[in-house]
Amino acid sequence: MPTDPWFYVTATVALLIVGIAKGGLGGGIGIVGVPLMSLVIDPIRAAAIMLPILLVMDVFAVRAWWQRWDVRNLRTMIPGAVLGTLLGFATFRMLSPDAMRLLVGALALVISFSWFAARGLPQPKPSSLGRGTFWSTLSGFTSFSIHAGGPPAQVYLLSQQLDKSTFQATTVAFFFFVNALKLPFYAWLDQLDFANLSTSLVLAPLAPLGIWLGHVLHHRVDERVFYRIVYASLIVIGGKLIYDGLA
């Protein structure tokens, strides 16, 4: 297990942010988790430590948002998530995590700046099998590598202008499936060893706390403000991912 106290400081901040994101403020901001923890340990180990904690968070988040998700969107997105996860597993030892950071960071910046440049939400788009499969495949792929599947999923869901509770619940249900799907593949790749699982167990109590904070904040934030927070956070995170990828 890590002994550096700075690891536990950064891990605590990272996991609370991820929990708040999953609990009510848009799953996309949760991609800050691995980059923050990677300040003190390597990104691959950070992702391995986070996965069991993400699953604990998902259980609490699904309970908080039970049956408020959009079933049609989930039916469209889950097959793509399976395909993306399989691609991530097949290329896990081939692709650089820094290349993934650059890809996800650039995507987050483009989408966020486009939203702000339009001075508000564009015309909503209906759910689409083609777009849903594309973005969910990309989401499953980037989620497998560094738990950064939020921005691609948001590109698809935010374009529909769902109400914030439906958006949050659909995001929660989608990533509950994605993270559960990743678990046996991480075990196959020997990422869930005793040291990593022990560290996850020590940090696990942060999971329900973060979810609770996110759920409280969700009901106290105006919907317009909610979308601004999501897009603004994606700008910050996108910049951070690009910086880390280039560095």
Where do the structural domains in the chain lie, given as residue ranges? 5-246
Confidence category of residue 223, pLDDT binned at 50, 70, 90:
low
pTM of the model: 0.76
Report whether pLDDT(27) > 70.
no
Give the per-residue pLDDT at 169.
Answer: 86
Give the per-residue pLDDT at 69.
Answer: 86
Report whether pLDDT(158) > 90.
no
The mean per-residue pLDDT over the stretch 41-46 comes to: 79
Q: How many Cβ atoms sit within 10 Å of the Cβ of residue 220?
A: 8
Helix (H), strand (E), coil (C) string for 75-130: HHHHHHHHHHHHHHHHCCCCCCHHHHHHHHHHHHHHHHHHHHHCCCCCCCCCCCHH
DSSP state of 39: T
Give the per-residue pLDDT at 123.
Answer: 63
DSSP state of 69: S
Q: Which residue has the higher pLDDT, 73 or 43?
A: 73
pLDDT tens track for 100-128: 678 767 877 877 787 777 655 556 677 77
Confidence category of residue 80, pLDDT binned at 50, 70, 90:
very high
